[in-house]
Structure 1
Amino acid sequence: MDAPLKDLLDLLDLERIEANIFRGRSRPAVVPRVFGGQVAAQALVAAGRSVPQDRHAHSLHAYFLRPGDPGAPIVYEVDRIRDGRSFTTRRVVAVQHGQPIFHLSASFQTYEEGLEHQEPMPDAPDPETLPPAEEVLPKHAGYFPDPSVVDRLLEARAAVDLRYAQDPPYLSVGRPREPRSQVWFRTRGELADDPLLHVCLATYVSDMTLLDSVLLAHGRGGWAVGDVVGASLDHAMWFHRPFRADEWLLYDQQSPSASGGRGLGTARIYTRDGRLAVSVIQEGVVRVPRA
Structure 2
Amino acid sequence: MDLNTVMEIRDARHPAPWRPGDAWLGGGTYLFSEPQPHLRRLVDLSRTGWIPVQQHLDGSLEIAATCTVAELSAFAKGLAAEAAPLFEQCCRAFLASFKIWNMATVGGNLGNGLPAGPMISLTAGLDGECLLIAQEGSRRRIRVVDFITGAGCKILTEGELIRSVTLPARALACRTAFRQASLYGLGRSGVLIIGTLDPLDDSLAVTITASTVRPFRLWFPLPPTGEALRSAIGSAVADDEWFDDIHGLPDWRRHMTYRYAEEIRQELTQQEAR
TM-score by length of 1: 0.26
TM-score by length of 2: 0.27
Whose helix fraction is larger, Structure 1's or Structure 2's? Answer: 2
Between 1 and 2, higher relative CO (CA 8 Å, sep ≥ 6) is seen in 1
Whose strand fraction is larger, Structure 1's or Structure 2's? Answer: 1
